[in-house]
A and B are shown apart, each in its own frame.
Chain A
Amino acid sequence: MSEKTTPEPAAQARKHATDPAGPPKAAQSPSGADAADAVLDTAESDVVLDAAGGQIPPSAVPAATQRRNLDGGASVLRQIFAGNAMVSVLSVLLAIVLGGILMAVTNPKVAATAGYFFALPGDLLTEVFRPYTALVQGSIFNWAGADLAAQLYPITETLTVATPLICAGLGVALAFRAGLFNIGAQGQIIFGALFGAYAGFAWHLPVGLHLVVVILAGLVGGAIWGGVVGLLKARTGAHEVIVTIMLNYIANFLLLFLLTTPAFQRRGSTNPISPFLDSSALFPGLLGPQFRLHAGFIVAILATAFVWWLLNRSTIGFEFRAVGANPSAARTAGINVSRSTIVVMAIAGALAGLAGIAQVSGTEKYLSGGVAASIGFDAITVALLGRSTPWGTFFAGLLFGAFRAGGVAMQAQTQTPIDIVLVIQSLIVLFIAAPPLVRAIFGLNPRKKKSTRGSTAASTAGGVKSGAAA
């Protein structure tokens, strides 16, 4: 290695002698001094200089880094959507507590009973808990009901309201597992309802067959509206969030327009509503005519089981999950990412379309401009709360169904505005989106090591200390 020791100081000396301010590339290549040395050498060195210069290393490496950066953005979403179950449960709990405080503070009766709290503390507590008592009474079990049917009515309402939420939630959750943020459940519900309702009132088919055709039509309608998104994403790279938001508007206004055309508007009506669906096109009731609960709920359970099987036990779902978790590795393993994108959006759309069918064939029995209500947007929250797993989404859908069903009873009985339910739903989203906050509130943050943002942690600790001192 004696050869190594000689050139090094020489090169360094040259670097500083000839071009102290020069870039290292220039400095490393023998400039003037070497050219004088040997003509042949310089010719070769120039080539080498090129090799060391700008041309080679830059291209590949930063590109990879950038790809990772993009990945970073998506991973935040992934963390939120796939956070642990405990955070979901705690978020619901926190939201309910905060919602309770909000209701107590805004309720004049609470203020009144607080005046004699020490005399009769029971009164205050009764007032504070009254809205939630009403909520439970309106969503699960009404102990004040005259007979068993009246007592059980609330839980059947919850299941009825939950049905479209579960179906649409599955659509959002499935798309998310494939790495797509499907904001378009609203539009897909509308298309499902549109196709299904038309098949339901315009065609007159035998009992049994008719309902099947209606369901298929709804699935196709939703699949088209979702598939368009996948197609645009796969073929042109259009971002699915933008596309789905825009398609929601298109679907909504298309529905409003169609309901004023002779093909869809109810004859003799000036309102933008469709004729009633044939009775053969409706979901049969599950418990009898006094309940609204219909067979659509069974379909929702089947859909949940199907999505679970699809994701965890089928090759198609394996592709979806691989594409969602690492599209680059999926492509390298021979998975057709474009096809997966289109197929998953079509299936997601079909699931949302099923929610549309649950509306027109189950609860509403005709098509109106408000058929999708805000189900498509609530579905995002449901999928979020369910951590994008099929059964998680199912139970989150039930919870939201209970909020909706119970909220009506709460308003009727205690004059608490039903909007409080919206507040609670929003709080849930807020807490789910901030897992460290929830863990901090419940004291669950791991204290094992400091994060790389040590300074932040330290300053927070300092803040706590000074607070304690004060």
Chain B
Amino acid sequence: MITRCPAADNAPDQIHTHRLVGVLKLELRGITKRFGSLIANDHIDLVVEPGQVHCLLGENGAGKSTLMNVLYGLYDPTEGEILIDGKPVVFKDPGQAMAAGIGMVHQHFMLIPVFTVAENVALGNEATKAAGLLNLESTRRKIRQISEQYGFDVDPDAVVEDLPVGVQQRVEIIKALVRDAEVLILDEPTAVLTPQETDELLDIIRQLKRDGKSIVFISHKLREVKDISDTITVIRRGKVVGQAEPTASPTELASAMVGRAVSLTLDKAPAKTGEVTFKVRHLTVIDHNSQHVVDDLSFDIAKGEVLAIAGVQGNGQTELTEAILGVQPHASGSITLDGEELLGRSVKHVLGAGVGFVPEDRTLDGLVGTFSISENMILDLYDKAPFARGVGMKPGVIADNAAKKVEEFDVRTPSVSAAVGTLSGGNQQKVVLARELSRPLRLFIASQPTRGLDVGSIEFVHKRVIAERDHGTPVMIVSTELDEVMQLADRIAVLYRGRLVGIVPATTSRDVLGLMMAGVPANEAEASVAAHSDSRPTPAAVPDAAGREGETHV
């Protein structure tokens, strides 16, 4: 099982580079960081060899980001030292870390949205002409040069807020490279990216590596970690629990990360399908640019089955769920649940009809961060018995309900009156699930149910979804993660540019699904994949957009 690319070993002579060997070896020795009584990092040792991709694998809150903030000069280590090429160094601030050749791309970008790329790159390091005038031309030239060298395709004069997230991330990388970074720290770089952007980023990392740069790649996503890394260090609760080779199996890595045996495969019985109760007919959503973002969509979901909506992000999934929920004003067609028309009704009516909904962005649409767990647990039931009588609410009942749900869904929190915003992503999602699954449902919709969650929480969420299916509820899952789609679904509907490419059984291969996600009809995709496996063993004709998923299939 060799997933890493051998090009790194033989490519440098073919490829134009400006530096052939890395010059910087980074070592962390016994780094300990305490916040009060909390030990975020406990005697961590780490060696990053030049020209290597070193992955830090760990669950949310394991201390990965703290460690990197220590390295980047944002935190003072309580104990321990940092060595560069064997010499101890102390970074008082990020400026000194940058000067020593360390660059960091934060999970949340540090860019000024209204500035151009060149202005953002120059910021803090502005070149000046005579009389102290800003010399952006030299920055532009550097950006073009780097952009060309690594195939970044970044226009120095584009305004950052107009750029897609993936390109913004490249701007962050350029910022580090312009400052001659030899070690690049990428903190959860794929959390905000679509699968395609992730693939592009991994390509960029491979090129940087070929160029002798070292990369510290922080992630909890096993697939990409296995795909890109040379060395893996697993961190759990602030301690290094082991080193792993990229050849380790995902289950081994996940178990090391979580600290107990986890199952990455979902045990689910075959669906016991009942009658069809949820019907979507000729659903069309037109956006403000008169584009058909959802285009004449028709499908059914039966009781006790999971229909997964697959597709690359931005192909109409958001608008589809919005239309069902009733927050999409420009929808036409028909959506019926048990024969009742839902399209055009208010959100309250739709939820009241027995629709449970887990939104794709839980912090934006699913939870009120400053509200307590108790309040979030009744966010859509606040005016219903037993939580309210008339306009008066019943705090006691509400708190009891929360205590029960916290127990049942294993939400880790000191108190039900804690603000939901203080919980980790996994626990937040559990709150959303607990709320949505707490009433009798006639349809359950979950959009990106495990985005940003760690392995343990993913396992939990998946089990709950299947439990709801087995309870006889029609379930619709919207996910851009092909893994998740294939694990949960009984049938898979693939969307492309708002149109339904086809509905296929869950047993369909990744390659076929990949092609369908790019708009190729199911039968053609089948034929094409079959032809390839006959004539050529390599899927070279299936490029990155859809093919990467297939290639990395474990």
Contact = CB atoms under 8 A, between A and B. Distances in A.
- Report if A and B associate in a common complex: yes
A333 interface: yes
Contacts, number: 244
Interface string B327-362: 100000000000000000011101110000101010
A16 B302 CA distance: 51
Contacts of B312: 51, 56-57
A8 B205 CA distance: 13
B371 A316 contact: no
A34 B541 contact: yes
Interface in A1-52: 1-13, 15-16, 20-25, 27-30, 34, 37-38, 40-41, 44-45, 47-52
- Is chain A's binding surface mostly helix, strand, loop or mixed? helix
A239 interface: no
For A52, A66, A313, the residue with the greatest tally of chain B CB atoms inside 10 Å of its CB is: A52
A448 to B, nearest CB: 6
Given A51-B546, A52-B544, A449-B35, A9 B314 contact: no
Contact of B540 (A7, A334, A336): A7
Contacts of A329: 364-368, 379
A5 B8 CA distance: 11
Nearest to A12: B7
A61 B388 contact: no
Given A3-B551, A40-B528, A449-B75, A9 B5 contact: yes
A374 interface: no
Contacts of A6: 538, 540
A331 B257 CA distance: 37
A58 interface: yes
Contact of A49 (B10, B357, B545): B545
B262 to A, nearest CB: 23
A25 B170 CA distance: 14
Contacts of B318: 60
Contact of B359 (A8, A24, A59, A332): A332
Contacts of A15: 151
A65 B165 contact: yes
Interface residues of A, number: 79
Contacts of A313: 392-393, 395
Interface string B304-319: 0000000011110010
A295 interface: no
A290 interface: no
B552 A4 contact: yes
A115 B229 CA distance: 78
A452 B66 CA distance: 12
Contacts of B359: 332
B371 to A, nearest CB: 6
A44 B94 contact: no
Given A318-B382, A329-B364, A57 B165 contact: yes
A6 B542 CA distance: 13
Given A21-B148, A322-B368, A58 B347 contact: no
Contacts of A458: 92-93
B161 interface: yes
Interface in B359-395: 359, 361, 364-371, 375, 379-380, 382-383, 388, 391-393, 395
B538 A3 contact: yes
A237 interface: no
B197 to A, nearest CB: 6
Interface in B74-90: 74-76
A47 B518 contact: yes
Nearest to B387: A315
B153 A315 contact: no
Contacts of B270: none
- Count class of interface residues, chain B: 35 or more
Contact of B543 (A45, A322, A335, A454): A45
B203 A24 contact: yes
Given A4-B552, A61-B313, A326 B367 contact: yes
A67 B315 CA distance: 20
B371 A321 contact: yes
A433 to B, nearest CB: 20
Nearest to B164: A58
A333 B379 contact: yes
- Which of B76, B375, B393 has the most CB atoms of chain A within a 10 A radius of its CB? B393
Contact of B541 (A45, A336, A448): A45
Given A8-B7, A64-B364, A68-B364, A57 B197 contact: yes
A29 B141 CA distance: 27
B515 interface: yes
A48 B545 contact: yes
B152 interface: yes
B17 to A, nearest CB: 11
A44 B520 CA distance: 8
B74 A332 contact: no
Contacts of B544: 28, 52
Contacts of B3: 1, 4
Contact of B314 (A4, A5, A40, A59): A59
A315 B382 contact: yes
A62 B369 CA distance: 21
A47 B371 contact: no
B548 to A, nearest CB: 9
A450 B97 CA distance: 15
A1 B1 contact: yes
B505 interface: no
A466 interface: no
Nearest to B361: A64
Nearest to B395: A313
B346 A57 contact: no
Contacts of B519: 47, 50-51
B327 A332 contact: yes
Contacts of B366: 329, 332
A238 B69 CA distance: 43
Contacts of B459: none
Given A7-B540, A48-B546, A329-B364, A314 B153 contact: no
A329 B15 CA distance: 50
A225 B56 CA distance: 59
A72 to B, nearest CB: 10
Contacts of B531: 40
A91 B291 CA distance: 54
A1 B75 contact: no
Contact of B538 (A7, A65, A316, A457): A7
Contacts of B348: 334-336
B171 interface: no
A314 B197 contact: no
Top 7 nearest A-B pairs (CB, nearest first) are: A23-B153, A52-B545, A41-B541, A334-B348, A58-B164, A333-B380, A9-B7
14 contacts: A1-B1, A5-B2, A12-B14, A13-B14, A34-B540, A34-B541, A44-B520, A56-B194, A61-B194, A313-B392, A321-B371, A325-B368, A326-B367, A334-B351
Interface of A: 1-13, 15-16, 20-25, 27-30, 34, 37-38, 40-41, 44-45, 47-52, 55-62, 64-69, 313-316, 318-319, 321-322, 325-326, 328-336, 448-450, 452, 454-455, 457-458
Given A9-B6, A69-B113, 9 more contacts: A4-B552, A12-B15, A28-B200, A55-B497, A62-B164, A313-B395, A315-B388, A321-B371, A326-B370
